[in-house]
Amino acid sequence: MKMSSASLRAQKHEDKGYDWFCGFAYSPAYGLGPEEGVYRRDPSSIIKVGDYYYVYYTKSFGPHFGHSSKRDMGSKVFPWDHADIWCAKSTDGVHWEEIGAVVKRGTKGEYDERTVCTPDVMEYSGKYYLVYQACPMASYNGRMESVGMAVSSSPEGGFEKLKETLISPQEDGEIFGEEAENINKGMFNGVNHDPMLLHYNGKFYMYYKCCGKSFDEMASFGKDTRWGVAIADEITGPYIPSEYNPVTNSGHETLLWKYNGGIAALINRDGPEKETIQYAKDGINFEVMSQVTCTPQAGGAYRCEDTNSSPLAGLRWGLCHLDERGAQWNCIMRYDIDMRNPYAHAHGYPESNSRSLGRW
Amino acid sequence: MKMSSASLRAQKHEDKGYDWFCGFAYSPAYGLGPEEGVYRRDPSSIIKVGDYYYVYYTKSFGPHFGHSSKRDMGSKVFPWDHADIWCAKSTDGVHWEEIGAVVKRGTKGEYDERTVCTPDVMEYSGKYYLVYQACPMASYNGRMESVGMAVSSSPEGGFEKLKETLISPQEDGEIFGEEAENINKGMFNGVNHDPMLLHYNGKFYMYYKCCGKSFDEMASFGKDTRWGVAIADEITGPYIPSEYNPVTNSGHETLLWKYNGGIAALINRDGPEKETIQYAKDGINFEVMSQVTCTPQAGGAYRCEDTNSSPLAGLRWGLCHLDERGAQWNCIMRYDIDMRNPYAHAHGYPESNSRSLGRW
């Protein structure tokens, strides 16, 4: 029997099985929805403590002006500039109650003077750890972001910041300069965004998005996002970037979960392998497992207990943000993976889901 | 230097170059837009004759009722049921003037009694050839579709149908039966949709979508679409299905163009390799060249002369249809590929395009 190249590839797809395929359905996260003058973005993973689910997210107020405001060092540049980290709780994962800011940006001269944003959360040994992007610069030019950590014995507040950042940007010689404008520059490890923390193999794996691979590419072409991982023996560090970084070649905000002794990752909108789900048996060497569409943006999954029951159990539901063109204010919404028929999702039925919420 | 699996794959991406990446922008096709009570779908490739661009498409009137109407054999099941093939022309590719139906479904007992739809067009030796899906069944149950052809010496009318279909469905024993309901069944070549015709290497290559690979998969899981090709020495046939069929493992409606001695294909929403652009040096063995998002549905490209100037020249602009959930009536819109920066599209900037048209 003669077989085309595509059919030979299909055999490999079939060998991997179809449990890695899914669709995504979107619905309101009441209480975190659209609000005039308010940005809510970048929800963390969701943890359950007692009767409540908790989520942490970036919140900022008022319009932003992009880099046209660069002459005014204080102007809000991005929706995640001049932001704080807020917390909300819910009993059903659908209706959310805002508790308030739990980590606020620092004061003048501190490593998080300018903004704190894009948090993730982990419960470990009875304490709650937030990791987040922190920026010290007077002018937010998209460089020099660090990863900060704050710790509390309650999920609802009392978070105390560590004195030192967990990961700091590396200024790679001529790549950084006063001319840097709206593009994150630098070799890998130059800037560190969107941290996500997992307790894995007895260590702490902090994945993060890093913008910029090499100066030539960045100068010529625009942004390039990949993920790295930094590993620590203690949850508070020190975190050592893996020698294998970057561990992905694609993906915007990090979204990872544990499965069957390895780490699974949803690689969303950026890069040549955008819109895929990948898996690394060792947390480092990721392979493409499935192709997905209409993926959550800046999503955080519910950290359920049964992540080994199926490949996508750890992705089952969560929150993400809505940051579409034309939407002036960002809001947070809920996603649920659609696993009604993994094979059908692999093969296109039900057809493409929509990130639109319709009536809210 | 240690490299992750993802970085090793990225090197291969880079070897292929970035000219295969693009975004898609959508805009109105005035004159073919939303209209209460009317479905316009499945635009053909676009040809230019004199001062006019011409397009052919599926047009039907009134609501459809799905398979709940199966007891009434005459009820309209799909938007492309009880349809005819219409023609429109334009001087600018933006504003279109409907000319009227150019191929109407046949009379009782003919192979296209029920519907004619999803046309493609080719100009060859001063004549205009339409290929299209044709259904003879009194009850449209999604099987038994054939591919028909009609020929004219004018692009605006006078099309005469060939007496015989170009490709007919193969009824594969027990797979076909009275119980067949809403799913296309049968081995590959069971049903033949969405033909697209190319003059290639001195022969005529007619690509088509085929639903159903094997009985087991279809019975268990739902639909499964792949593309085949049938090849003829003369444009009117006979068309012989390739022994290598299926030639893709994914893709819904066909969209192909010639490039550099081979055939390029936009693989859209269905299958494990959905949302990719592929290339076959021999028109048969397709390889993935790029990952794309928000692809045109049921698109047809303008058949420009300079398809060899770059990989995506033959995809540069065209028409497609809008068939989103919640849109009661389908309409035709224009797409343009966004090639402002192929590398940027590979790496996610500009960010995801939207199929939404906004105000019309």
Query: What are A97's strand-pairing partners?
Result: A89
Q: What does the CA dihedral A299, A302, A303, A305 come to, rounded to 10 degrees?
A: -150
**Model confidence at A347, in pLDDT bands (50, 70, 90)?**
low
Comparison of pLDDT for A69 and B351, the residue scoring more: A69
Residue B56 identity: Y
Dist CA A162 CA B201 (whole Å): 68
pLDDT tens readout for residues A92-131: 999 999 999 999 999 988 889 999 999 999 999 999 999 9
Q: How many residues are given for chain A?
A: 360
Q: What does the CA dihedral A107, A113, A115, A119 come to, rounded to 10 degrees?
A: -80
Query: What are A116's strand-pairing partners?
Result: A134
Nearest to B285 among A5, A225, A326 (CB): A5
First to last CA, chain B: 54
Residue B306 identity: D
Q: Do A349 and B270 touch (CB under 8 A)?
A: yes
Average pLDDT for residues A311-339, to the nearest whole number? 85
Q: Do A245 and B5 touch (CB under 8 A)?
A: no
What is the largest distance, in Å, between two alpha-carbon atoms of chain A? 72
Mutate to test the interface with B, among A1, A3, A5 (most CBs of B within 10 A): A5
Looking at residue B351, what is its pLDDT? Answer: 42
Partners of residue A223 in chain B, C-beta under 8 Å: 344, 347-349
DSSP, residue by residue, B139-189: S--S---EEEEEEESBTTB--EE-SS-SB-----GGGS-TT--SS--SSTT
Partners of residue A354 in chain B, C-beta under 8 Å: 324-325
Q: Do A249 and B21 touch (CB under 8 A)?
A: no
Q: Which two tokens stand for residue A73?
A: 């060092």
Structure letter (DSSP) for residue B30: B
Question: Which residue has 């090849």 as its token pair?
Answer: B231
Q: Do A222 and B343 touch (CB under 8 A)?
A: yes
H helix intervals, A186-341: 215-221
Cβ neighbourhood burial of A30 (10 Å; 0-12, 13-18, 19+): middle
| B325 CB within 8 Å of a chain A CB | yes
Which range, of A168-172, A312-316, B25-29, B332-336, averages the lowest pLDDT? A168-172
Q: How many CB atoms lie within 10 A of CB B158?
A: 12
Q: Is B302 left (phi over 0), alpha (psi -120 to 50) or beta?
A: beta
H or E element in which residue B280 lies: strand B276-280
Partners of residue A193 in chain B, C-beta under 8 Å: none
Partners of residue B244 in chain A, C-beta under 8 Å: 2-4, 7
Dist CA A38 CA A328 (whole Å): 9
Q: What whole-number percentage of chain A has pLDDT above 90?
A: 49
pLDDT tens readout for residues A195-243: 999 999 999 999 998 765 443 343 333 456 789 999 999 999 999 989 9
**Model confidence at A348, in pLDDT bands (50, 70, 90)?**
low
Q: Which two tokens stand for residue A65?
A: 């002006």
What is the largest distance, in Å, between two alpha-carbon atoms of chain B? 72
Q: Which two tokens stand for residue A326?
A: 């034309």
pLDDT higher than threshold 70 for residue A349: no
Mutate to test the interface with A, among B352, B354, B359 (most CBs of A within 10 A): B352
Q: Is A31 helix (H, G, I), strand (E, B) or coil?
A: coil
First to last CA, chain A: 54
Q: Do A348 and B243 touch (CB under 8 A)?
A: no
Q: Do B246 and A285 touch (CB under 8 A)?
A: no
**Nearest C-alpha in B relative to A11:** B249
Q: How many residues are given for chain B?
A: 360
Dist CA B93 CA B191 (whole Å): 33
Local confidence pLDDT in tens for the 360 residues of chain B: 788 898 888 877 777 777 898 888 888 899 999 899 999 999 999 999 999 999 999 999 998 887 665 557 778 888 899 999 999 999 999 999 999 999 999 998 888 999 999 999 999 999 999 999 998 876 565 556 789 999 999 999 999 999 988 887 665 433 333 333 333 344 455 567 889 999 999 999 999 987 654 433 433 334 567 899 999 999 999 999 899 988 998 888 899 999 999 999 999 877 888 889 999 999 999 999 988 888 898 999 999 989 999 999 999 999 999 876 455 788 999 999 887 656 556 655 444 344 444 333
Q: Which residues contact A63 (CB under 8 A, 6 or more apart)?
A: A76
ipTM for the predicted complex comes to: 0.80
Q: Do B5 and A348 touch (CB under 8 A)?
A: no
Long-range contacts of A136-141 (CB under 8 A, 24+ apart): A136/A106, A136/A109, A136/A110, A136/A111, A136/A112, A137/A113, A138/A73, A138/A74, A138/A113, A138/A114, A139/A70, A139/A73, A140/A77, A140/A78, A140/A81, A140/A114, A140/A115, A141/A67, A141/A70, A141/A77, A141/A180, A141/A181, A141/A182
Q: Which residues contact B151 (CB under 8 A, 6 or more apart)?
A: B127, B128, B129, B130, B159, B160, B162, B236
Residues 225-284 in A contacting B (C-alpha not used; CB under 8 Å): 225-226, 243-250, 252, 269-275, 278, 280, 284
Partners of residue A274 in chain B, C-beta under 8 Å: 291, 293, 348
A to B CB pairs, distance under 8 Å: 162
| A222 CB within 8 Å of a chain B CB | yes
A54/chain B closest Cα distance in angstroms = 30
**Model confidence at A18, in pLDDT bands (50, 70, 90)?**
confident
Looking at residue A317, what is its pLDDT? Answer: 96
Q: Which two tokens stand for residue B346?
A: 């590979």
Q: Which two tokens stand for residue B143?
A: 């099987």
Dist CA B112 CA A257 (whole Å): 52
